[in-house]
Amino acid sequence: MNLSRLSIIGVGLLGGSIGLAAGARLSSCRIIGYGHRRETLDRALEIGAIHEAANNLGEAVKDADLVILCTPVLLFEETLQAIAGFLKPGAVVTDVGSTKRSVVEAAARLLPRHARFVGSHPMAGSEKRGVEFARTDLFESALCLLTPTPQTDSAAVELVENFWRALGMRIAEMSPDEHDAVLAEVSHLPHAVAAALVHMPEAESLRLCGNGFLDATRIASGDGGLWRDIFLDNADHVKAALAKLRQSLAEFEALLTPGKSEVLRAWLDSAAVKRETLVNERLRNQE
Amino acid sequence: MNLSRLSIIGVGLLGGSIGLAAGARLSSCRIIGYGHRRETLDRALEIGAIHEAANNLGEAVKDADLVILCTPVLLFEETLQAIAGFLKPGAVVTDVGSTKRSVVEAAARLLPRHARFVGSHPMAGSEKRGVEFARTDLFESALCLLTPTPQTDSAAVELVENFWRALGMRIAEMSPDEHDAVLAEVSHLPHAVAAALVHMPEAESLRLCGNGFLDATRIASGDGGLWRDIFLDNADHVKAALAKLRQSLAEFEALLTPGKSEVLRAWLDSAAVKRETLVNERLRNQE
């Protein structure tokens, strides 16, 4: 794809990895980074994640063909407000947020008519935080969810899609609401459950856990501030997912009796099969 | 340690790994295996996990200094009944079960006075099943929980402790009931939760999950039959742990409002810190 000027707002793990990957894959693209901490920008320059560090948001997005918001979710609205007046005609804006309704709504409300927004959620990351963990291959083979609405410009969707594909990603499209409902089930609630599982036992008991528990709760080591924002932004869908989980656990509890032994086994076996199917599909996609 | 004859009842992932590790670490020890499927025994002989395959339980335990029960939890009682008449005076019997009250009670009831039982739970394994996944280093640096009671012979505890230490394990002791209560929280309930998380979403939604979800649900790929037995054997403690989880999730749900933003963040951060502390401790233990 042809992209002359890319602007990355927020140069942490994701923003930094986007810069590294875009630098490697799109050789003629100039990459400008902005972040509120100078030392982060210096580190991003040092590892080659950005070519230039901007001193403010206006400078960061001026003349950019594509602007990617990589700040925490709850900062999107004020960032959109701050950049709105500086976007060039035809500029495309996207983001990497884990929730999509709020940013899509805010962009429609705040950006000028001559700029175009497409919501993105690249499903890559780690429980690590900061540009020092940025990796050129973070996005390779991973899935990126785009959330265009009927009002979204189709040429802008194409540009954003081509950008993520250039970074090695697979693409799926869905509505912002569908995205937030699905992610509540497969990402946000599992995070809360992992935290609850860590909170439950006394520290003494926790010491007796095995590797299975450590894997099951790895996501609970993620950044509390980022996740707080996600939970507050997607509270309604997270509550709905929580209600579904309660029902599933109630079904399980009703099977804890010798008379239901075969049903309990079928419940456990079918979860194992469903997960293995998923893992095998994933492995095929990565081939 | 000095052990002439070791008998392994059930030569799957755990039994096979015990055989491999004991063969490597206790050079003068003769290892006899028994399993109800001949092909499993042949495979165990082939990979060197056992020196001899016994044709029946009596033959398997005759003359053994240490007998280790490695069958599924709900088969312990009938196995103890079947071997009781063949144990030599002074023989020590242990097991590798994930629940401890039932086997300790059954051994006290079924074994002759001249044999001595000590409950063991080596906290090692994988979601894999079968002797073909057996590994010599499966137990290295892992924790083994012993559950002696006031009636347990202390020389037998020492022998069992030395055996697991010879395989590279760390040892902790607790009562059978304490063991089952703690394991319900740090192992059994997390398994049920992982299965519930896999069951919840439609297959289409599940395809959109990230690596965090796959890690969080890895334990749900474990063998349904083995886990069914564990859940039925420890149903009371699993129900108590489930009640605690419900309370923890209700606390979380009450924080899903902007007014509780700081408390929500503290809840998430403290889970992250608690887990990181645990991981760091674990790493130090493996050094």
Q: What is the mean pLDDT of residues B278-287?
A: 82
* CATH code, domain carrying B88: 3.40.50.720
Q: Quick one: B169 and B183 in the same domain?
A: no
Per-residue pLDDT tens for B177-208? 999 999 999 999 999 999 999 999 998 999 99
More confident residue, A187 or B211: A187
**What pLDDT score was predicted for residue A220?**
93
Q: Do residue A206 and residue B269 have CB atoms under 8 angstroms apart?
A: no
Asked if A272 lies within 8 A of B235 by C-beta distance, the reply is: no
**pLDDT-derived band of residue B127, with 50, 70 and 90 as boundaries?**
low
B25, B149: one domain: yes
Domain contains B27: yes
User: Which stretches of chain A score pLDDT less than 50?
Assistant: none
Would you say residue B270 lies in a domain?
A: no
CB-CB under 8 Å, A232 with B258: yes
B202 in the same domain as B93: no
* Of B105 and B128, more confident: B105
pLDDT of B96 reads 97
Chain A interface mutation, best of B123, B135, B185, B247, highest count of A Cβ atoms under 10 Å:
B185
- Rounded to a whole number, what is the distance in Å from the CA of A73 to chain B's nearest CA? 14
Per-residue pLDDT, A17: 97
> Please, are residues B270 and B264 in contact by the beta-carbon 8 Å criterion?
no
CB contact under 8 A, B215 and A212: no
Residue A192 sits in a domain of what CATH number?
1.10.3660.10
Confidence of residue B287 (pLDDT cuts 50, 70, 90): low
Kindly list the residues from chain A whose CB atom is less than 8 angstroms away from the CB atom of residue B269.
Answer: 224-225
| B278 Cα to chain A: minimum distance (Å) | 7
Residues B131 and B79 both lie in one domain: yes
Answer whether B186 sits within 8 Å of A203, measured CB to CB: no
For an interface test with A, which of B217, B263, B273, B277 has the most A Cβ atoms less than 10 Å from its Cβ? B217
For residue A127, what pLDDT is reported?
Answer: 67
In a domain, B264, yes or no: no
pLDDT tens-digit readout, B212-231: 899 999 999 888 999 999 99
Q: Are residues A167 and A237 in the same domain?
A: no
Residue A269 included in any domain: no
Residue A63 lies inside a defined structural domain of this protein: yes
Q: Are residues A41 and A157 in the same domain?
A: yes
Is residue B126 pLDDT above 80, yes or no?
Answer: no
Per-residue HEC secondary structure of chain A comes to: CCCCEEEEECCCHHHHHHHHHHHHHCCCCEEEEECCCHHHHHHHHHCCCCCEECCCHHHHHCCCCEEEECCCHHHHHHHHHHHHHHCCCCCEEEECCCCCHHHHHHHHHHCCCCCEECCEEECCCCCCCCHHHCCCCCCCCCEEEECCCCCCCHHHHHHHHHHHHHCCCEEEECCHHHHHHHHHHHHHHHHHHHHHHHHCCCHHHHCCCCHHHHHHCHHHHCCHHHHHHHHHHCHHHHHHHHHHHHHHHHHHHHCCCHHHHHHHHHHHHHHHHHHHHHHHHHHHHHC
As for how many domains chain B has, the answer is: 2
Question: Are residue B155 and residue B23 in the same domain, yes or no?
Answer: yes
Minimal C-alpha gap between A144 and chain B (Å): 9
Residue A286 domain flag: no
Candidate from A186, A201, A272 with C-beta closest to B213: A186
- Specify whether B81 is located in the same domain as B137: yes
B280 occurs within a structural domain: no
> Among A174, A195, A215, where does a domain finish?
A174
Interface test mutation site (partner B, options A233, A268, A276, max chain B beta carbons within 10 A) = A268
Residue B221 and residue B144 share a domain: no
Residue A153, pLDDT score:
96
Cβ-Cβ contacts under 8 Å, A219 against chain B: 212-213, 215-216
Domain endpoint, select from A174, A201, A222: A174
**A14 & A66 share domain:** yes
Mean pLDDT rounded to a whole number for chain B: 95
User: Quick one: B78 and B213 in the same domain?
Assistant: no
Does residue A264 lie within any of the structural domains?
A: no
Instruction: Look up the domain containing B248 and give its range.
Output: 178-254
- The reply to whether residue B282 touches residue A228, judged by beta carbons under 8 angstroms, is no
- For chains A and B, CB pairs below 8 A equal 260
B151 near B175, Cβ under 8 Å? no
Same domain (yes/no): A164, A183 = no
